[in-house]
A and B are shown apart, each in its own frame.
Chain A
Amino acid sequence: MSLLEIESLRIEFPGEDEERLVAVKGVDLAVEQGEVVGLVGESGSGKSLTCRAVMRMVPEPGAISAGSIRFDGEDVLSLGTSELRDFRAHSVGMIYQNPFGSLNPTMRAGAQIAETLKVNRGLSNKAAKVESVALLDRVGIEDPERRYRAYPHELSGGMCQRVMIAIATASSPRLMLADEPTTALDVTTQAQILKLLAKMRAEEGMAMLLVSHDFGVIAQACDRVAVMYGGHIVETGPVETIYHEPEHPYTRALLNSVPELDSAGNVQRRAALAGHPPELSDFIPGCVFAPRCEHAKQDCAGIEMKLEKVGADQESACPVRPYAEAGARSAERAARVEA
């Protein structure tokens, strides 16, 4: 049994005139014990919502309208108020894109960690303080005694994110939900935070669901990745396979758009994907990617978005499979660089 199992998850928002806007359209996703799974996609793909749904924190007026989420076999969607609080306190931790926005600006950073420890683990004031300092030390904050007394505005973005990680891991959760945890940070700070998350994972055996629009971040941290587009998972597999041999045309186009350092000194136009990702109000019959896909056929408007096995551990929602014989994407790229 997987640690986290999401099945046919559907998230809707009310639109104009009774219309329902479907943001997540039947997502299936599993996270094993100790595994790091990435959710990658462009804006509006539904990746953040999927992640938030695990905590039952879909922002109003959105709501989960169908599907199930099981954590360690337990149905998360049917938890009562106090059980839900317990679940959020002990089983999962969450970190967000904007660490400043998630900390209370009027409370000292240490007090916010201590509060979590007192409420979640029932520690005394004194024990909570000692433990908070130890946590600050563990997330790599220098001079933790002094930082314990600092207010969030006195800390840098990277340090605030470390404090958030300390809070999220205070009760040793088995699953960490990380929603764009490094997007607002400088590249050097981003590297530090990714290293810290890898360290926490190694020490605690913590599983993680990492949401990012940046395939680079996903490649650094994840074992497996699910690529989302227009509310669907279009492809999933081990991160190495997805990078080198993507099957779905969207994955391939997305990866071909990722800027790379190797292009330095060889400035040339990329084979860019035309158009832009679909809006919530766009209704696209059949394959959501078909309008932008260079391999789209007439039948594509009639297919069902369903993941089918295409390799040992790889699934794709494209029945056309234009790249089944194409081989590794890197060879393609190398050929283009030479040309």
Chain B
Amino acid sequence: MSDVLTEETKSAAHLLEVESLVKEFGLRRGLAERIARKQVAPHRAVDDVSFTLDRGEILGIAGGSGSGKTTLARCLIRLIEPDGGAVRVDGIDIRAHKGAELRELRRRMQMVFQDPYASLNPRMTIGAALHEAGKVHNRPGSENEQAFVSRLLGLVQLTDRIAPRKPRELSGGQRQRVSIARALAVDPELIIADEAVSALDVSVQAQLLNLFLDLREELGVAVLFISHQLAVIAEVADRIAVMQKGRIVETGTTQDVFAHPKDEYTQALLRAHPHPDPRMRFVAN
């Protein structure tokens, strides 16, 4: 099976191609609509979204709350089922596959969430959690648990001493590093980081941003970096896509978009950015 997938692979130009992706959520009808037997138009959380992501590239997805960033991320790995469009990994449409093939596609795209507390099993040691992920996907090297775990912890710059501990014994930054290590356990080509650094203190946030840059360099992994903070995206991303109301309203290199934003919403976001330099205040005192 995986041989078939790798053969298709070579032809595709982009690692990830998203084409006209749509996700709608039905709304509950209010009393008035029920009495009038009126239908309510569904809410389009992701509305005709298309973009591409190359190998080793970091693409930032920006937007306010409710703009559809997270729904988009979840549709990419079919954590929620898209209603239309296509998601292709190396040219293979993830919506056309199921079972073992879907599992293999999902292995190649791993997610890291905002809250590592919620994504790590509190009763499993860090070592066991990392090893299990490798074992499930039959990763080479996973036969030797100790060496496997040690390599992963090394990748995220943690010491082996962490392995016998439980998630609650770690700091927030350490836990998030473990979540990243868990994602790396299955040798993904793409990491989808959904607000992965948003809950961390700025000093720890800077460490984690550096880690993403290191991983890209060492492993060639691509990152879809979702954040509501434009400045965080500016620190790591090569390109940015700005989302508003489920649509991508602007896309380009971070340099171009931040220097010459064309869309009104992007301009509003940039204007509202609280610059840490007091000389650049938008609030006149």
Contact string against B for A residues 213-257, beta-carbon threshold 8 Å, 1 for contact and 0 otherwise:
111111111010000000000000001100100000000011111
A187 touches B281 (CB 8 A): no
| Minimal Cβ-Cβ distance residue in A for B214 | A269
Listed stretches B24-32, B48-56, B126-134, B198-206; interface member: B198-206
Given A259-B231, A261-B273, A267-B236, also A219-B202 (CB < 8 A): no
A106 within 8 A of B: no
A241 CA / B284 CA spacing, docked (Å) = 18
B258 touches A220 (CB 8 A): no
- Give me the interface of A with B, judged by CB distance under 8 Å: 36, 42-43, 186-188, 190-191, 194-195, 198, 201-202, 213-221, 223, 239-240, 243, 253-270, 272-274, 276-277, 279, 330
Of the listed residues B213, B232, B277, the one surrounded by the most CB atoms of chain A closer than 10 A to its CB is: B277
A301 CA / B171 CA spacing, docked (Å) = 24
Given A187-B228, A188-B64, also A270-B206 (CB < 8 A): yes
CB distance from B176 to the nearest CB of A (A): 11
B98 within 8 A of A: no
A263 touches B277 (CB 8 A): no
Listed stretches B39-47, B71-79, B181-189, B264-272; interface member: B264-272
> Which residues in B have their C-beta under 8 angstroms from that of A243?
276-278
Given contacts A187-B274, A272-B209, 13 further A-B contacts (CB under 8 A): A186-B65, A194-B282, A219-B277, A220-B281, A259-B206, A260-B235, A265-B255, A265-B258, A266-B255, A270-B210, A276-B171, A276-B174, A276-B204
B38 within 8 A of A: no
B234 touches A264 (CB 8 A): yes
Of the listed residues A202, A214, A215, A269, the one surrounded by the most CB atoms of chain B closer than 10 A to its CB is: A269
Given A42-B201, A267-B236, A276-B171, also A216-B283 (CB < 8 A): no
CB distance from B217 to the nearest CB of A (A): 10
> Which residues in B have their C-beta under 8 angstroms from that of A256?
206
> Which residues in A have their C-beta under 8 angstroms from that of B9?
none
A190 CA / B275 CA spacing, docked (Å) = 12
Given A216-B275, A265-B254, also A195-B202 (CB < 8 A): no
